[in-house]
Structure 1
């Protein structure tokens, strides 16, 4: 019984431990030879969030996942893809959270609307209070 449980745990844990022991992808820590292409890749990578780190850009992160994402960005830039197409692919793959520059969509519109609404409410409250004070001062 105990052997069966240990075997099951080993089977479950093996894929999890393999992710951190795999060698990094070729372009995870190697820059592109063409400086213009590397500049494009670096600019894009600075606007993409590492999903494992706490809001760190993938070009600053040492997490294996960030290395894989850097590799993907550099490979796609090298293949001639445009940065916005790569960003769209990563957003489709990982969700809106991956981008520091979210687009307004059905899932992200509250991020843009709620702060504007709060500012509007604060302005209305301020105007009402200033109006009341002026009326009290006139009397």
Structure 2
């Protein structure tokens, strides 16, 4: 008899442990305004695995974890910037769909145009130099013919 009660108690304890673990991992329930904020944040972050999808769009397991993390942080009262800063600290600037304006990002955006402008300046200088050389050669030839 004792053995049967112990077995039932052990099964109930295991069931309660599994239930508490499942509830601990569940995403917090959010109010509609918080849910909208969490969704907006998930749309502004890139899935580190999928690369071309937002966290909100991706079906990857990591994206699901990130959505739950975002919801937990919104439920905890963190601001949008605090949530983004947390994600950047974990995954780097790559996770942001709209990268921050830093010297490195400005160089990435403006670098090709600066190289193109520099190439145009070099090309223009060479064309002018060649034109001057041709004019001076023409002037030398016309002077020789007269003399």
TM-score normalised over the length of structure 1? 0.62
In the TM superposition, what is the alpha-carbon distance from 1:119 to its structure 2 partner? 0.8
Partner of 2:76: 79
In the TM superposition, what is the alpha-carbon distance from 1:103 to its structure 2 partner? 2.7
RMSD: 3.1
Which whole-Å CA distance do the structure 2 matches of 1:116 and 1:124 have between them?
12
Q: 2:50 aligns with which of 48, 53, 63?
A: 53
The structure number with the bigger radius of gyration is 2
Matches for 1:1-139 after TM superposition, within 5 Å: 26-27=26-27, 32-34=30-32, 36-104=33-101, 109-130=103-124, 132=127, 136=131
TM-superposition CA deviations, 1:17-61 (whole Å, max 9, x none): xxxxx9xx533xx98332x22221111111111122233111001
Q: Which runs of 4+ in 1 moved over 6 A?
A: none
Q: Would you say how many aligned residue pairs link Structure 1 and Structure 2?
A: 110
Which whole-Å CA distance do the structure 1 matches of 2:109 and 2:59 have between them?
33
Which whole-Å CA distance do the structure 2 matches of 1:114 and 1:52 have between them?
23
TM-score normalised over the length of structure 2? 0.59
Which whole-Å CA distance do the structure 1 matches of 2:70 and 2:114 have between them?
40
Q: Specify which structure has the higher proportion of helix.
A: 2
In the TM superposition, what is the alpha-carbon distance from 1:70 to its structure 2 partner? 0.5
CA change 1:122–1:54 in 2 (3 A) is: same
Q: Could you list the runs of 5+ residues in structure 2 that have no partner in the other structure?
A: 1-21, 136-147
Which whole-Å CA distance do the structure 2 matches of 1:31 and 1:136 have between them?
75
TM-superposition CA deviations, 1:93-126 (whole Å, max 9, x none): 2222222233356xxx434314413211211322
Bigger relative contact order, structure 1 or 2 (CA pairs below 8 A, ≥6 apart): 1
